Structures are given as C-alpha cells and as structure tokens.
Amino acid sequence: MHTTTNINNSKGLDIDCIREDFPILNTTVHGKPLIYFDNAATTQKPRSVIETIDNYYTNMNSNIHRGVHYLSQISTDAYEKARTKIKEFINAPSTKEIIFTRGTTESINLVAHSYGMKFFNDGDEIIISAMEHHSNIVPWQLLKTYKNINIKVIPIDDDGNLVIDNFESMFTERTKFLSLVYVSNSLGTVNPVKELISIAHKHNVPVLIDAAQAVNHIPVDVQDLDCDFLALSGHKMYGPTGIGVLYGKEKYLKAMPPYQGGGDMISKVTFEKTTFNELPYKFEAGTPNIEGVIGLGAAIDYINNIGINAIHEYESGLMEYATKALQTVPGLQIIGNAKEKAGAISFLFENIHPHDVGTFIDFEGIALRTGHHCTQPVMDRYGIPATSRVSFAVYNTKAEIDILVKSLIKIIEVFK
C-alpha cells in the first residue's frame, strides 16, 4: 500500500507528495489538468482509502456483530477499530457516544426525531442560525408535523458573521434546543460555537453542532467545545460517501428512544416486547455501511498522518492567498467576509451569472460549485439567487488559484 512519507517537514507540507496520494488529480478535463475546487461538496479520496475499501471486499467481507466465523470476527474488529479512531479524532470520552449514520443529514434527523419527539412539547422553541444548510433547517420543520414548536433564527450581518450581541436574550423558559453550524458551507464563516454553547448551557439548553464543513479544516474537540451532539460526514474528510457520524453525550443518548428498529439494535425480541441493545448499537439498526466505516477509519489515519493542525495552517494560507487574488478580478464581489473563515469562498459578478461562470470555468478544467449551496435563506439574506464557490482541500495549490484568476479574467472578456 502506498504511504505518504516526509509530507510534514520543517518547510511545511510537501504538497506534491500529498497530491500523488490522490489518483483522480491526474485526470484531464476538456484537455486541461483537473483543478478540483469543489471540496465543500465532497473531497477526493486518497489511495489509502480506496485501497482499504478494495481490501475489505477482497479479503474481509462479512457481516458484523453476528457470526462466530473468522471473516465476521475480522470485519467486526475493523469496524469497531474505526469507531475508536473517530472517537480519538474528535476527542470523545467513549466509543458508546459514536454512532455511525449515513452522513451529517441523517445525524441531524436522528436527533431531531428521537430527541425532539421525546423531549419537545407544543409551544417549545428551538434556535438555529440564518446560515444553516437545509439539512439543519428541514428536519426541525418536519418535526412541526407532530409538535407545535417555534424555530428562532440567529441573524447574520452583511459580512456573514452571526449577530450574537443579543443572543442570550433569545432564550426563554420554552427554549429546548440549539442546533448550529460550525463552519458555513456557503460563506466559509467559522462561528464562535464554544462561546454560544456555554451561553446555551447557562439556560440548560443542549446544543448540536453541524461540523460537516469543520472537521477536515480545523481541529475539533467535542470535550473542549462541550457540545452535546456533533454531526459530521465522512465524504467531506477524504472518506467514502454514505457514511457519517453522530457524537452524542451518553446521558442524552441513553434517554433517547431508538430512531429506527431492526437487527443489531436489539438485545431481546419477542412479539410482546423488545429490549434494546446498549449504546451505540441502539442507534445502528440493520447491517451498516461496513466498508464506509472502515474507509472512514482510513481517511482519519490519512488526516492524522499529515496532522489536522498542519492542514489548517496550510489551508489558511490558501484562503488568504485566494481572497487577495480574487479581489484583483475586476467586478468580482466576495460574498461573506467574516472575521474568521475556513474552507470556502463564495463570489459573484454583477453581470455574469454563476452558472455561466461554472460552464466556462469547466472548460478550463476547473471544478467549482455554482448555485445556492443548499442554503437558500443565506441567498435570500443577501438578495442574490446564487454564487460561485471555490472550496479547498489539502491538495490544492496557489498555482491552481492563479489559473482560476486568469480564467475568470478571460470570462469577463467574453461577457464585456
């Protein structure tokens, strides 16, 4: 298996070496070398993740937590080892608190459904922010079918910062939950979640953090944040699609009813009554995405091998460089100039629609995202239909940003 060596020396990360770990980066698009700037949608996968999944099906495939045979043992061990890796990666106290899901979306739906159905009453309030992804808006709205809850929204300012001067006054005795995005996928804003969690806790309100756009860019420590739940997706951190994680404090997970019923989540079933399995299995009904979990474990090894702090430092350099470079493009306006940003930059031209930018830039070999980024309320807030977004991963380079800028200037010429 290919391993990355000497990637983190005194001069910083050896990006050429890191790029060699990602086979897809050798692709050409319309005859040009691929420049992949759509990492907030999904990151590319290193060879070690691809080979781990290949190895699972070649040498280990078996259902887990069931058989006593050899294959079942080794696949169960690999699955549970990955749980330990994710526990350590986000510094959770216990593997009982690490639940595998399909992704951030399912993690949030699990909490909204299981916690919300049990603990919310008519007239209760929950708080979210104006920069939530649809996945942290719609699950709470769906709950309104059963519970007459009110959703309060923390506003954002013109630069894309949360307006938190009056945050504490949003809490009343009816406030039951705070669900908040750590890093905005459309604006790149890094929210002061630790501060907001501590304010919520003063009012005995539990907090879920949507860390989908945070975990591959900045170190995330659930004990330091003191969040009660945290949701993340494997495919945005160099792992496979269809696998995610819900971290939850044991006291809450214990009190919550199962989200789905089936195999693996039970300890005893009769037609009269079922006794549920212990944590975390209570929330993992049915045969899980085994290769996804094991692949995610390999992705975490990959990040750890480089070091999340080194990745953060390198990507901060890219963000700063790209921001300055994009500001030199005539007529380009950056949407979202928050004090602290990570991962993504959204921009707009007055006379060129993002979709036209997207089609033209594709012919330069550059993949970027155009649209509302599943954050329509953010687009409404700024009175715009859509943006173009560049989002970074550890394999991106300043040279790629230079090509992006040159390509954008070419597009301006066409639309003059």
Q: Which of 23, 78, 73 is nearest to 53 (CA)?
A: 78
Q: Which of 249, 233, 300, 226 is nearest to 96 (CA)?
A: 249
Binding status of residue 356 toward another protein by CB under 8 A: yes
* Candidates 66-74, 215-223, 316-324, 351-359; binding stretch for another protein (CB under 8 A): 351-359
Check if 227 is active-site: no
Identity of the residue, 286 or 385, whose beta carbon is nearer to another protein in the bound complex: 385
Dihedral sign for Cα atoms in the order 103, 104, 105, 110: positive
- Work out which of 242, 376, 397, 412 binds another protein, going by CB under 8 A: 376
Distance (Å) of CA 115 to CA 108, 251, 257: 10, 12, 8
- Work out which of 119, 252, 321, 360 binds another protein, going by CB under 8 A: 360
Distance CA 208, CA 253 (A): 13
- Work out which of 65, 194, 203, 353 binds another protein, going by CB under 8 A: 353
* Nearest-approach distance from CB 384 to another protein, in angstroms: 8
The contact pattern for another protein, residues 382-411, with x = CB under 8 A and - = no contact, is: ---xx-------------------------
Binding status of residue 370 toward another protein by CB under 8 A: yes
Token readout for 28 is 């050409």
Instruction: Give the alpha-carbon dihedral of 110, 139, 228, 95, to 10 degrees.
Output: 30
The values of phi and psi at residue 306, to 5°, are: -80, -40
* Candidates 18-26, 75-83, 192-200, 363-371; binding stretch for another protein (CB under 8 A): 363-371
In the three-class reduction of DSSP (H, G, I as helix; E, B as strand; rest coil), residue 234 is classed as: helix
* Angle, helices 290-306/47-55, rounded to nearest 10 degrees: 150
* Nearest-approach distance from CB 356 to another protein, in angstroms: 5
Buried b (16+ CB within 10 A) or exposed e, 4-37: beebbeeeebbbeebebbbeebeeeeeeeebbbb
* Candidates 175-183, 227-235, 302-310, 372-380; binding stretch for another protein (CB under 8 A): 372-380
Catalytic residue among 374, 384, 403, 412: 374
* Candidates 73-81, 148-156, 325-333, 379-387; binding stretch for another protein (CB under 8 A): 379-387
- Work out which of 33, 242, 307, 371 binds another protein, going by CB under 8 A: 371
- Work out which of 116, 188, 354, 365 binds another protein, going by CB under 8 A: 354
Token readout for 327 is 């500001």
State CA 194 to chain mean position distance: 17
Identity of the residue, 321 or 382, whose beta carbon is nearer to another protein in the bound complex: 382
- Work out which of 16, 26, 27, 30 binds another protein, going by CB under 8 A: 30
Catalytic annotation, residues: 374
| Interface residues toward another protein, by CB under 8 A | 30, 351-356, 359-360, 363, 370-372, 376, 379, 385-386, 414-415
